[in-house]
Amino acid sequence: MEALEAIRKRRSVRKYTGDPIPREDLEKIVDAGRLAATGSNRQPWDFIVVTDRKMIDRLKVAAQWMEKAGAIIAVVMDPSSRWWVEDGSAAVENMLIASTALGYGSCWLEGYTLPLEEEFKKLLGVPREKRLLTLVPIGVPAEWPTKEKKPLEEVLHWEKY
């Protein structure tokens, strides 16, 4: 799928069939994440791909609808980088678009603002000094929601606000 088409098509998908996702597709998705822009090119991240059903069952306490995801990608950031939130967010958006391009549904699930961040870090073996920016469930879509977006002419300004 062409890049602009995938960007247009991307929506937060929260219903999955439960089918597994081939490892090479998950690698492609993480690869898209690691290629994102980062402040000073620090690339202050690690990505944990969880496919084990038992672990998915434990992570789904954050959001029951993740139950049938084929995988959950935990985005782990080094907060010593000044731009860790921006860097990680760029990686997440790349992964959402890559998932769409490959025909999967995905959604951004809050992580570092979650009360469960510390519990999830322990569960996933994340070092204490790192932060869990977000969890990104990926799945074969059981539905593709539509979500209204502000029209371009409402948000686009030429030359001045």
Ligand X SMILES: Cc1cc2nc3c(=O)[nH]c(=O)nc-3n(C[C@H](O)[C@H](O)[C@H](O)COP(=O)(O)O)c2cc1C
Positions touching ligand X (CB under 6 A) are: 11-12, 14, 63, 107-110, 147
H/E element, 56:
helix 53-59
Which CB atom, from 27 or from 118, has the smaller least distance to ligand X? 118
Which CB atom, from 155 or from 159, has the smaller least distance to ligand X? 155
The nearest distance, CB 9 to ligand X, in angstroms, is: 10
Which CB atom, from 110 or from 119, has the smaller least distance to ligand X? 110
The nearest distance, CB 12 to ligand X, in angstroms, is: 3
The nearest distance, CB 160 to ligand X, in angstroms, is: 28
Is the distance from CB of 87 to CB of 155 less than 8 angstroms? Answer: no
- CA-to-CA distance for 95 and 7, rounded, in angstroms? 11
For 45, the token pair is 């991240």
Amino acid of residue 96: L
- CA-to-CA distance for 93 and 105, rounded, in angstroms? 13
Cα 130 off chain centre by: 17
The nearest distance, CB 141 to ligand X, in angstroms, is: 12
Which CB atom, from 11 or from 121, has the smaller least distance to ligand X? 11
The nearest distance, CB 74 to ligand X, in angstroms, is: 14
Which CB atom, from 83 or from 108, has the smaller least distance to ligand X? 108
54: left (phi over 0), alpha (psi -120 to 50) or beta: alpha
Please tell me the total number of residues recorded for the chain in this structure. 161
